[in-house]
Amino acid sequence: MVNPLNINRRSIGVNFTANNEAEILLWAPMANKASIRLLDSNRMLALKKQEFGYWHLHTTQLQTGELYSFVLDEKLELPDPASLAQPGGVHGPSQAVNLNEFQWTDQAWINPPLEEYIFYEVHIGTFSERGTFRGLEKKIPHLKSLGINAIEIMPVAQFPGERNWGYDGVFPFAVQHSYGGAKDLQHLVNVCHNQGIAVVLDVVYNHFGPEGNYVHQYAPYFTDKYKTPWGMAVNFDDAWCDGVRHYFIENALMWFRDFHVDALRLDAVHAIKDFSPVHILREIHSYTDSLIRQQQRNHYMVVELDLNDTRYINSVDKGGYGMDAQWIDEFHHALRVTAGGEGTGYYSDFEGVKHLAKAYCDAYVYDGIYSTHRHRKFGVKAAEHPGSQFIVFSQNHDHIGNRMLGERTSVLVSFEMQKLLAGAVLVSPYIPLLFMGEEYGETNPFLYFVSHGDPELVENVRKGRKAEFAAFHIADEAPDPQAEETFAKSKLQWDLPEKDHHKILFDYYRALIALRRQLPALHRLDRKQLEVSHSEANKTLQLHRWHNNQHVLCLMNFSNAPQTISVTTGQRWKRVFDSADPQWSGPAASADLLTNISVLTLQPESIVIYTSNYV
């Protein structure tokens, strides 16, 4: 029996040995016969049946770069479910790729501790004019100058056409061809590592996209035991689930081992349905841990989670799944409502500065309290979890792109509020994430876009978008997701960072990120050394953090009028940063020094930072 899971090398699909022999492993448990068709030479090679539904073959007749497909029972011809390349799109044949051909030069790279990450989320297609991995490489100096040390790339698994957010991927192992394919992604990671930047990849293990999804014709990849927003759930605990679990474990290991990716961001893990004794996330963690020990390279797994359930981020020895960190949407929701955002849809549960203060203290706003939006108690307490297990943001692809017109913060709030929102995130006791273009106030929207080939599917997508906005009481028509213009409007404008207030905002972000790194009280994510107070009437918030003998006081005014605030801590404070400083095009800076008891007037929509032991 060929072992279908090996941490040292990719086993499934088509792979190449050291002597350039192709090793083929296909999981098709319901087939009576299985063959591989070599399209370039028009040859058909029979695969040999193994245990547990696997089919296997060693051959020298398939070379790197050749096109191929699998044929089941001499009649059903399909692309490889573990394909590494789909140059003709999701409906075309697969292409043989040797992942071991790339010459890595990142041997000196050391993945920094997760708590030191400054995440920067990018969509490859809209980040640069070229919309490719090579296009992103050209912007690395911009990111380095900003202070970014971790790029988070939205999903790159092959999707239909050339325009998609990435969550409609149907070949989890194949790197989107229009972005540059596998070797260009390897090249990007190598360049980033040599520039001191970690690479995080967004992966989707909770569903497959609706077009070009052929895996169900090979095996029971889905189960009707559970329903998800996308239909039947991926089969992680029903009959024949072992092959499905191996498929996704292999996928995670491939990104870490063969692409040198530093961390995975796992999309919406609450939609992964698994009641096995060992949850699939815990099993992926176990194999990843083995890989880490063997290769002496650290890797992280970050989850998007909408359950406020610490089981996902608890260590395995505490009965958890061992995930390293999670996104915290609730911090975002509380922050947006505090800043004057609409309180409809999922924002209706949030009460502004009161809940923002709770998010600073408790991570989860809903930690066992009653949720009016859900009509039930929701969540558990996360008091014992360090700040390095939570990732926060003022905007991301979801909360921009899921607006009907895809408006960014820059066109929804004032310039002063943009600066305040940035400050609120970067002084938090959590890991910060920026969304591409945020740092200079990009004004182009980030819209939802697709390029499906099925007209009926396109129409269903349009109808689905309209239904989604009904929850926010929006009746107007959204931009057509299928239109190329919708995609084009979402591209970043790289002439902006050097213009007027855009340049000021970029310099502001850069200074704030540098300050976060400079002050131990800010960059040490100790949630125990933190105090928060707030005034609902004045929409002000005081955040006091400390480490050893250094204390930092962050004073925020979310109202559109000056507010008086009393500082009564027994410290002597020196101002080290002020969003209202004329340096940042603000109206006026606050007092340079505060004594034991001071009354301070905060400018509208501003944040000022003081330290008691400055450097």
Looking at the structure, tell me whether residues 478 and 540 fall in a common domain. Answer: no
Q: When comparing pLDDT for 85 and 477, which is higher?
A: 85
Can 330 be counted among the known catalytic residues?
no
Asked whether residue 470 is assigned to any structural domain, the reply reads yes
What's the pLDDT at 3?
63
Partners of 318 in the β-ladder? none
Domain span at 194: 120-213+266-277+300-454+463-513
| Cα→Cα distances 460→401, 466, 470, 482, 593, Å | 18, 10, 15, 11, 60
Average pLDDT of every residue of the chain: 95
Residues 14, 68 contacting (CB under 8 angstroms): yes
What SS3 class is residue 23? strand
Burial class (CB in 10 A: 0-12, 13-18, 19+), 3: exposed
Clarify whether residues 304 and 373 are in a common domain. yes
> What is the per-residue pLDDT for 475?
58
What residues pair up with 543 in beta bridges, in sequence order? 532, 554
- What pLDDT does residue 615 have? 43
Give the separation between CA 481 and CA 451, rounded to whole angstroms: 8
Q: Which of 238, 267, 349, 578 is catalytic?
A: 267
CA distances from 332 to 84, 148, 486, 527, 536 (A): 36, 20, 26, 18, 18
pLDDT score of 568:
72
Residue in 139, 44, 88 with CA at minimum distance from that of residue 442 = 139
Sign of CA dihedral 294, 300, 305, 310: positive
Report yes or no on 136 lying in a domain: yes
Residue 536 CA: distances (Å) to CA of 177, 357, 362, 598 = 51, 10, 18, 20
Calculate mean pLDDT across residues 123-131. 98
Q: Is residue 199 part of a domain?
A: yes
CA angle (29, 87, 134) in 5-degree steps: 125
Claim to verify: residue 317 and residue 422 sit in the same structural domain: yes
Average pLDDT value for residue range 376-392 = 97
Cβ count within 10 A of residue 9: 16
Give per-residue pLDDT as tens, 585-613: 999 999 999 887 788 999 999 999 999 87
Q: Same domain, yes or no, for 271 and 375?
A: yes
Residues 345 and 478 in one domain: yes
Angle between helices 329-338 and 353-362 (to 10 degrees): 150
Instruction: Specify which residues 547 forms β-bridges with.
Output: 550
Of 474, 489, 513, the last residue of a domain is 513
Q: Check residue 464 and give its pLDDT.
A: 81
Catalytic residue among 23, 238, 283, 304: 304
If asked whether residues 539 and 414 sit together in one domain, one would say no
CATH code of the domain covering residue 316: 3.20.20.80
Tell me, yes or no, whether 109 lies in a domain. no
Residue 232 resides in a domain:
no
Domain total for the chain?
2
Q: Are residues 555 and 410 in the same domain?
A: no
544 closest CA partner among 559, 535, 534: 534
Work out the pLDDT band at 169, boundaries 50, 70, 90.
very high
CATH code, domain carrying 550: 2.60.40.1180
Count how many residues are written for the chain. 615
pLDDT at 212 exceeding the cut of 70: yes
Quick check: is 304 catalytic?
yes
Res 312 pLDDT > 50: yes
289 in a structural domain: no
pLDDT classification of 213: cutoffs 50, 70, 90: very high
From CA 103, how far away is CA 356, in angstroms rounded? 47
**547 and 400 together in one domain:** no
Within-domain flag for 183: yes
Q: What is the DSSP letter of 183?
A: H
Average pLDDT over residues 227-254: 97
DSSP-assigned states of every residue in 48-108: EE-GGGEEEEEESS--TT-EEEEEETTTEEE--TT-S--TT-TTS-EE---GGGS----TT
**Mean pLDDT in residue range 428-457:** 97
Domain assignment present for 35: no
Instruction: Tell me: do 566 and 422 sit in the same domain.
Output: no
pLDDT average, residue stretch 420-446 = 98
**One domain, residues 187 and 334:** yes
Same-domain status, 474 and 339: yes
**Is residue 548 domain-shared with residue 478, that is, in the same domain?**
no
> Is residue 219 helix, strand or coil?
coil
pLDDT above 90 for 478: no
Q: Spell 488-524 as b/e; 16+ CB within 10 A means b.
A: ebbbbebebbeeebbebbbbbbeebbebbeebbbbeb
